Each structure stands twice: as structure tokens, then as C-alpha cells.
Chains A and B, each alone.
Chain A
Amino acid sequence: MSALGFVGGHGMSDLITMDDLSNDEILEILDTAERLLPVANGDVYAPLLQGKVLGNLFFENSTRTRMSFESAMKRLGGEVVNLSSVGSSVAKGETLYDTMQMVDGYSDIAVIRHPRQGAAQYSADAIGIPILNAGDGAGNHPTQTMLDLFTIRQAHGTLDGLNVVLVGDLRYGRTTHSLSHALARFGAKLTLVSPDSLRMPTEIVGDLQSHDTEVIESEDLSGSIADADVIYMTRIQKERFPDEDEYAKVAGIYKMTADNLAEAKGGMIVMHPLPRVDEIDPSVDSTKHARYFQQAFNGVPTRMALLCRSLGVDVPMEVGE
């Protein structure tokens, strides 16, 4: 059973939830990602994945995740084949199982984003090549969590014992589900700020608390800013609401502006998995706290490290030499 009682993948090479990684493995992957930064920047060419093919399977919209995986694979000398649900046999009613049988033959590793929760684990059970979960419904998004942890460690030099405020759609937000599990394992204090209708699912809060994590739930963002080391904003996701009226009640409830940050600690960072709508005002972009665009870039070195790990490719201590 996993550390937090959460269901995870079944092989060393799959990444379905954060419980597939131990804390030591997380830190090792972040170290590898750091070594790969010059490759991610395009300053060094290191064809570590030459001859390998990534199946990039996006059954749901994506900008950053899809592009950063493709960039990561290509900068490491690998190739990418893409699948979207629009324009493929998925639109004709093909099952995920059948689609994955094709992917098994066409690629060496697959990244999957799917609107149905559990689709990544299902795919991992269906075929033999490594599967990386790039978001399954409102479930998990562990590769986002890895780049989030990379960004946090980059700013604070550690993952241990930080005061992290997660804001917005905590009910449907898969990024915050995965991130909160991971932060709990590093002894974070978590403040969960959301409207009542979008609170973190009770089973996740229970998991976090069973891990001796200090968890505070609140509807008020302003009172949480002064003590925070990280404020992680999220979008209220219209597409996840079964009912449009429920969405209308909470849309635009949290808006952060540069003025809100006057009381913040100097080293506090504002993160966001993006896309944003209006929850972070552009006035925040030019403050020392804004870290979301850097965070989006960090998807490339982090996903490089994850691709190498799942494909069993060692990354040398001195990349490019």
C-alpha cells in the first residue's frame, strides 16, 4: 500500500500518482532536472533519447504540458507522435483500451491526458510501455507536481517544512491534489483556500491529516498571504462543473493584485499551473513574487528527467561533456 493510501501505478517506469515516487526518488529526479537545464535552454545538445519515440496522447486540451513534453523529447534527440481525440478514431467511439494497443506498437513511452479519471492507470494496465499521467479528469497530474516542486526548490533551496497556500478550485483541481500529497510528505503546512463548494475532497484532506500534516481550510485568501512561502493560485475550471449555475456562483471569487502582496515575505513566490483567467492580475507579473512563467518553463527540464528515468536512460553528472 502506498504511503498515503492512494492508488498508484504498478511499475517502476510508470508515473500515475505521486505515490509512485519516494521522497528520495523525487529529489533525485529534481537533481537530474537541474543538470538538464542547459539542454532545456537549448545551450547544450544532448541526444540521450535518440531513437526513442514518445506517444503524446491528448484527449483533452493542453498548451504547456503537451508542448513541454514535445520540447523535452526533441531537445534530447527523440521523436514525438501525437494523438488528439479530435480527428482520430477516438471520435468514432474507439475504446481507450484499443487506442492504447496501437500506441504500444507505435512508441516507446506514452504521455496521456484524458477527461476521465483513472484513464492513466487504466492505460498502464492495458499495455507494457511506460505511461506518464499528464492529467486524468479531476484526478492527478504528477508531472505538473514535479515541475512545481522543482520551482519551489529553486526559489527556497528546500522542500522541507514550507508554508504553502493552495487557492481556488481545490475540488476539481488535479494539480493541487497531486501537489498537496507531495508537499505533505515533505512536512509542509498547508492552507487550503477555496469557496465552500470547491473544497478539497474530504478523502484527500483525510489522507493529508493522517500524515500529520497541519491543514487549515479557509475561504479567505487575504489572511493567508503574510505567512506564506508559496501561494499557489488555480483557475476555477468551468469545464469540470457538472452544472453551469454552480460555476457562475464562484467564478472570479479570488483575484490577486500586486497591492495584495504588500504584506508578503520577500521570498514568497506566487505560482499558477496556467492558464489563468482573472485570478492573477497582470500587475503581479512584474513583482519579484511572480514565478508562474518560470514554472511553465521548468516543465521542460523536469519532464526531460522523467522521460529519461522511465526509459531507463542514465543522465551523466556533467551533461553535454
Chain B
Amino acid sequence: MSEMRRVTAICNGTVVDHIPAGKALQVMQMLRVDVGRSNPISLVMNVPSGKAGRKDVLKIEDRELTQEELDRLALIAPNASVAIIRNFSVAEKRQIELGSELVNIARCSFWNCITQNSREPLPHKLRVISAEPLDLRCSYCGRSQSIDDLAKSIL
């Protein structure tokens, strides 16, 4: 059974496909679509996938995610595919890219970093040292960041 039959097609919004199995909740956290919004969200997890064996899929209705929001995905789902849906059709496909620096995506998780003072005004910056395996370090203090910690420090 295809995953499209598990969840109704959406009229307008964003579909994030090919999320690594089990990571969809973290993706929602990263995209900040899990709190404070009324858009309907459909989530399927661990569905069969030709590419990866199993995958998660996220459908967010009535909201087109911006490129900046989608770039957050690169942290946990760099191979996810993103489609913007308008009137039940794929209107746009968007690429997920992990740049060399992530600005104001997440706060450094190190307790003694200068950026822990919330009144300091400069942007939060994480430098991508390596994409595979993922190695992110705070541009100020140089500390490595775990994805689990970053998910809790999303701005």
C-alpha cells in the first residue's frame, strides 16, 4: 500500500517526503510546526520506501514552508524531498541544502557559551564542519552540537 493512501491528499500546503524513519517528530520540532499553530498536520511513520526501506512523511496543510524553514531540515533529513501543493497538484519542488553556516536556526547548546546570555544581540551561528557525518560547531565557542540538543534549542 502506498503512503498516499494512508493519508488523504491535501489541497494546499507542504509535503515533506523521505524523512528518515522515526524522525518525523523531530522534524516537526525543527520546523516549529508542532506548537502554537492550527494548521492540520498529517504524519505517517515507518511506511515502506523503495529508497530507504522505511520512511516518514509529513503533510502540513494551508502552509507553504519557506526555504529558510526547509533549510533546518538539512540537519536531520538532508535527503528529504519537499513539494509545495496548490489545488491538489505539485506546484513546486524545493531543495534542501546544508550551507556552510546556519544562522539563527538554533542556539548553541553549551552551557557556558557567550550566546547563552539571551540579551546578547548578535545572531546565533553554527558552522558546518562536515556534512557526512554531520559535524556542527558553534561559530563562537567552537563546541560540537548534537542533533538532539539542537532540536531542544531551536529558535
Contacts and interface: CB of A to CB of B under 8 A. Distances in A.
B53 interface: no
Contacts, number: 75
Nearest to B113: A118
The residue in A93, A95, A115, A118 that gathers the most chain B C-beta atoms within 10 A of its C-beta is A118
The A contact surface, by secondary structure, is loop
B25 interface: no
B87 interface: no
Contact of B141 (A125, A126, A136): A136
Nearest to A177: B142
Contact of A95 (B110, B121, B127): B121
Given A136-B141, A203-B144, A117 B114 contact: yes
A19 B13 CA distance: 45
Nearest to A94: B119
Interface centre among B122, B139, B142 (most CB of A within 10 A): B142
Interface string A182-214: 000000000000000000000100000000000
Interface in A1-57: 1, 5-7, 17
Interface in B98-155: 108, 110, 112-117, 119-122, 127, 129-130, 135, 137-144
A95 B119 contact: yes
A114 B120 CA distance: 14
Nearest to B111: A242
A97 B138 contact: no
A115 B108 CA distance: 16
Contact of A121 (B116, B117, B120, B139): B139
B141 A118 contact: yes
Given A7-B142, A97-B122, A136-B141, A122 B129 contact: no
Given A96-B114, A117-B112, A117-B114, A5 B130 contact: yes
Contacts of B137: 5-7, 203
Contacts of A139: 141-142
Interface of B: 108, 110, 112-117, 119-122, 127, 129-130, 135, 137-144
19 contacts: A5-B129, A5-B135, A7-B137, A7-B139, A93-B119, A95-B117, A95-B120, A96-B114, A97-B120, A97-B121, A116-B112, A116-B116, A118-B114, A119-B114, A121-B140, A121-B142, A136-B114, A139-B142, A140-B142
Given A5-B130, A7-B141, 15 more contacts: A5-B137, A7-B127, A7-B139, A7-B142, A116-B113, A117-B112, A117-B114, A117-B142, A118-B114, A121-B140, A125-B140, A126-B122, A139-B141, A203-B137, A203-B143
